[in-house]
Structure 1
Amino acid sequence: MNSKREPVFVWSGKIRLFHWLNVTTILLLIVVGVVILNAKIFGVSTDGKVLLKTIHVIVGYVFAANLIFRLIIAFIGKTYERWGKILPFYKGFTRELIEFSQDKKVRYKGHNPAGKLMVLALLSLMSVQMISGLVIAGTDIYYPPFGHYFSQSIAIDKDNLDVIKPYSKENVDELSYQAMRSFRKPFITAHVYSFYCLLLLIPLHVIGVIVAERRERSAIVSAMVNGYKYLPTDETNAH
């Protein structure tokens, strides 16, 4: 085996920006989300809950914008920015996955087969989080993009929406409010359980990166900082 390695540019600045902004926003959302879920245990006041939810939503906007940016780049970007290089939906993937599990010498410029499965799972869960979170933001604290619609749907006086506030019954029709709460239940369920799944997958992702780095010695972590992986000159898999 040739031990000579060369730097190979893989991750563009756009991908690296997405990755680290995604890490930052998810960590913030997890911390605030855990406090919100356990507000009674922590003795958080009503005003405190509104503040926490507002922070959660604002950080969520950054998370959502960043995720949408990544999804767009997957369609219009170059090489390893595109769907074909990050998802396991191509002919020969199963064979490639078997080869990866059996041959520890094989190297990959982009994600290895296991990494592509993880990317699929993470992007799916993050998309569920984004969509359900935007709906909940509208029903919970009446924030965009759906807040105006929901506040209007529960208002007694449609011309006086400004008085509708979180945890306040002023200008709120009780039956309409309960209907709104029933509508949002599946979104709450999706948001909470996709959150739990992310809590499971994130450490698995970190462990997977550590295992892959020990196996490949290709500077996987630093590649997400400077864009370059270090690969054997004669063992690079095009995927």
Structure 2
Amino acid sequence: MTELKRYTVWDAGTRWFHWINVFCVTVLAAVGLVILNAGDLGVHNAGKVTLKTVHAWVGYLFALNLLWRIVWGFWGNRYARWRSILPGGRGYFGALRRYAAAFFASRPEQYLGHNPIGRLSVTAILLFLTVQAITGLVLAGTDLFYPPIGHWIAQWVAASGVSPDSLVPYTPEMYDAAAYEVMRAYRKPVAVVHLYSFYILTVIVILHVAAVIITELREGGGIISAMFSGQKVISGIPVDKESGDSDISS
């Protein structure tokens, strides 16, 4: 009979980030798609402002949560730290080849933290999440005059005699037409990056979820449940087990 051992892997900070991120990305994607298709859906300007306001506020939570994860990469437990997440380092590419060969040979290797392919996936996700956060903050400033750059954008585009602090979206009579057109020209490439980064991120997330499910079925270990409990159940000796890793039950 195969002996199963339970290991504590994901700390609370990592698990909270994961599920808050899932919530934010889901809401942002849904609201963003409605905004993108607002014309076809018959949404008027007032509705667009409401949608963009919801999108922006959830975006702030998303950005703060991402910032937390970046910081936690220096302070979290061994599996949460950057050296266990980012690809590269001594022996990484050899481990990647061995993992892939073992996986396709139906002899999958088990890891407590991210396996070598998982590290590539998580790094790509974090990279595109960061792109979304940065471009989203810029768009919030140019669309709604929200922080962190909204104040300067409002000063730039406000018409003569109009207080920048009083600007609201979709009120062209309050804007200096020439300045507003120049601002929108600068904004356009940011919007394009935000949109296509979203599409790429969507594909990566779908592949990531599929990979997690396949890995769970092929390797076991409770990968999915571990993001709730923090614990993985492993049969045998994990490849990345270190002397300080002790099972808490067997």
The TM-score bracket by the shorter chain reads over 0.9
CA distance in 2, matches of 1:119, 1:233: 25
Q: In the TM superposition, what is the alpha-carbon distance from 1:208 to its structure 2 partner?
A: 0.3
In structure 1, the residue matched to 2:246 is none
Q: What do the CA deviations read for 1:180-205 (whole angstroms, capped 9, x no partner)?
A: 11111111011000100111111111
* Counterpart mapping for 1:16-165 below 5 A: 16-103=15-102, 104-157=107-160, 160-165=163-168
Q: Deviations over 1:193-232 (max 9, x none)?
A: 0100111111111100011101111000000000000112
Equivalent residue, structure 1, for 2:200: 197
Structure 2 match to 1:214: 217
Task: Name the SS of the counterpart of 1:170 in structure 2.
Answer: helix
SS at match of 2:172: coil
After superposition, the C-alpha distances for 1:103-139 in whole angstroms (9 at most, x for unaligned) are 1331101011111000111001000000000000000
1:224 pairs, out of 218, 223, 227, with 227
Percentage of pairs with the same residue: 42
Q: Which moved more, 1:34-43 or 1:102-111?
A: 102-111
| TM-score after normalising by structure 2 | 0.91
The residue aligned with 1:180 is 183
Q: Confirm or deny: 8 A CA contact 2:86 2:120 kept in the other structure.
A: yes
Equivalence map 1:2-17=2 (5 Å):
3-17=2-16
Moved over 4 A (4+): none
Relative to structure 1, the CA distance from residue 235 to residue 58 in structure 2 (aligned partners, 3 Å threshold; closer, same or farther) is: closer
Q: Residue 161 of structure 1 aligns to which amino acid in structure 2?
A: P
SS of 1:145's equivalent in the other structure is coil
Task: Give the partner amino acid of 2:185.
Answer: S
Structure 2 vs 1, CA of residues 237 and 48 (structure 1 numbering), >3 Å: closer, same or farther?
same
TM-score with structure 1 length normalisation? 0.95
Q: CA deviation at 1:234?
A: 2.9
SS of equivalent residue, structure 1 residue 108: coil
Q: Structure 2 unaligned segments of length 5 or more: list them.
A: 243-250
Please list the CA deviations of residues 13-51 of structure 1 after superposition, one character each: whole Å capped at 9, or x if unmatched: 000000000000000001000000000111001100000
1:138–1:144 contact (8 Å) kept in structure 2:
yes
CA-based RMSD of the aligned residues comes to: 1.5
